[in-house]
A and B are shown apart, each in its own frame.
Chain A
């Protein structure tokens, strides 16, 4: 049976994170921190995650790791309220984006999802749209109307940020499905970036990609973190070690609900974790 320590208070979390929070030095565009307190989420009567408190640093990559079924994806989907899109789900707790509670009564999920973009496991460009239209789809959905020139500028800017521009600049009107898997995933990143979010959530963004395409996405993440706050769910521990600044380890408790076991700087988590369960998981002793 897994023993879970007493839930940490917001004060504990702030104190804990303040110890190792260092001011980023290479930021181009400052973004907001994302603070999560006592987050619990259900699918019908099944509790998927319980009492998770994490303070995710602005302009840093936070990796969420853990065995299958530990609630990693549920957790990340709560951060832009995608979780509640599935019927029968609910969540409790507080999620503060730049100090504002995104689960509050007055919070607007649509506006939130513009501030908190998401990239999924499998590249999912809109199949009937061209490359350029894929990039601007979010702008149009969010009614962020602009002239033709502004659209074109945003297409180029987003594709450049996603490190895809040079590969597609001569075929912007071709169907997005003509691109390779790795290119499609970078197109999805460009699509997410086009609405200029503050936070970028990535749910196993490389699991369907080959090692070279994976490397490209990882390098892109290190570049993007100067503009965005990134949260990535990954099964690949080496990837978490390579790309993230902070790592959170989740594990299911006796009731099969995901709990936060350890959270800290990636360098420490992967060389000298404090909790034996973290050590056992990352060294492959279970999971």
Chain B
């Protein structure tokens, strides 16, 4: 005997979560693109789309609550729902970080860039790749991959250190750059937080598979 209806609902919330993750990944890359190209319409659309990300998070959350209330899930089924409930919150907050970057892109759009953007897109790409792999680990119930993804957070932290130091030197050399450099520090900080939130997703993959709640990566920041 199988619980067909409940399995459909479990598939649905996991599918919704993956769609949400895709929306967040797109938001991150478009926010960086808007910053790099000083593309105001693109930045505005990232901000507008954040509402859709939030909506999907709440819809998925409601479905999870309904499942708990109506199906009384246990064991592995319960862990799927709990994992999804946590992951969608992290995804939604990652969307907020992307929105934050888009807002800074609008502020900086009228000024010439301080320097060519190299490490910031690199940081964004590293975070997006971590996100993709964490979701792959979720789909495949792959604990080893989840742990490996967490280890990559150190690389993102190192890039953040590097960007911070460079911007500090620019500010020290020319105080007129302080406002723009501070905004760019915020961009890097948003990206650093995105990678941290990916490690939370990985922790939920471990919980989903092994039933253990453990901290996989202690962030430097």
Contact = CB atoms under 8 A, between A and B. Distances in A.
A237 B75 CA distance: 12
A273 B75 contact: yes
Contacts of A38: none
Interface string A255-287: 000000000000010111100001100111111
A285 B3 contact: yes
B74 interface: yes
Interface residues of A, number: 16
B76 A284 contact: no
B75 A284 contact: no
A25 interface: no
A187 B3 CA distance: 38
A271 B79 contact: yes
A237 B74 contact: yes
Contacts, number: 39
A272 B211 contact: yes
B6 interface: yes
Given A238-B72, A271-B75, A279-B76, A284 B211 contact: no
Contacts of A271: 74-75, 78-79, 211
A241 interface: yes
21 contacts: A237-B72, A238-B72, A241-B74, A270-B78, A271-B74, A271-B78, A271-B79, A271-B211, A272-B75, A272-B210, A273-B75, A278-B75, A282-B75, A283-B73, A283-B75, A283-B77, A284-B1, A284-B2, A284-B3, A285-B3, A286-B1
Given A271-B74, A284-B1, 6 more contacts: A237-B72, A238-B72, A268-B211, A270-B75, A279-B76, A283-B74
Interface of A: 237-238, 241, 268, 270-273, 278-279, 282-287
